[in-house]
Amino acid sequence: MEWLAYGIPTIILFALLIYGATRAGWFSRAEQRQLDANTEAAQRREDPQKRQRGVR
């Protein structure tokens, strides 16, 4: 019965670590579109030449 106390939580922790490692750094399509839009908006705010010419 000792394996229940240590084995099951260890398996759950391992599964969560695997899930986190595989998911890290990957965005959904909606998240990627939002990130791109925010980046473009920030670049337009920070670069006055892009604002004047309307260059992307």
For residues 19 and 12, give the distance between their C-alpha atoms in angstroms, rounded to a whole number: 11
pTM, whole model, 2 decimals? 0.46
Which residues does 35 contact at the CB level (< 8 Å), separation at least 6?
A: 27
What is the predicted pLDDT for the residue at 38?
A: 95
For residues 26 and 5, give the distance between their C-alpha atoms in angstroms, rounded to a whole number: 34
Residue 3 predicted with pLDDT over 80:
no
User: If you average pLDDT over residues 27-52, what whole number do you get?
Assistant: 86
What is the predicted pLDDT for the residue at 16?
A: 95
Long-range contacts of 11-16 (CB under 8 A, 24+ apart): none
Up-side HSE of residue 10: CA atoms within 13 Å toward CB?
Answer: 6
